[in-house]
Amino acid sequence: MGRLYVVPTPVGNLEDMTFRAIRILKEADLILAEDTRTSGILLKHFEIKNAMQSYHKFNEHKTVEGIINRLKAGETIALVSDAGTPGISDPGFLVVRECVKNDIEVQCLPGATAFVPALVASGLPDERFCFEGFLPQKKGRMIRLNGLVEETRTMIFYESPYRLVKTLTQFAEIFGPERQVSVCREISKIHEESVRGTLQEVIAHFTATEPRGEIVIILAGKED
pLDDT band at 224 (very low <50, low <70, confident <90, very high): confident
Average pLDDT over residues 177-185: 97
Average pLDDT over residues 135-162: 95
Residue 187 contacts residue 214 (beta carbons within 8 Å): yes
- Global pTM reads 0.91
pLDDT band at 139 (very low <50, low <70, confident <90, very high): confident
What is the model's pLDDT at position 15?
94
Give the single-character DSSP code of 9: B
pLDDT band at 138 (very low <50, low <70, confident <90, very high): confident
Of residues 17, 19, 216, the one with CA closest to residue 119? 216
What is the model's pLDDT at position 127?
95
Q: State pLDDT tens for residues 87-106.
A: 999 999 999 999 999 999 99
Residue 189 contacts residue 215 (beta carbons within 8 Å): no
pLDDT band at 154 (very low <50, low <70, confident <90, very high): very high
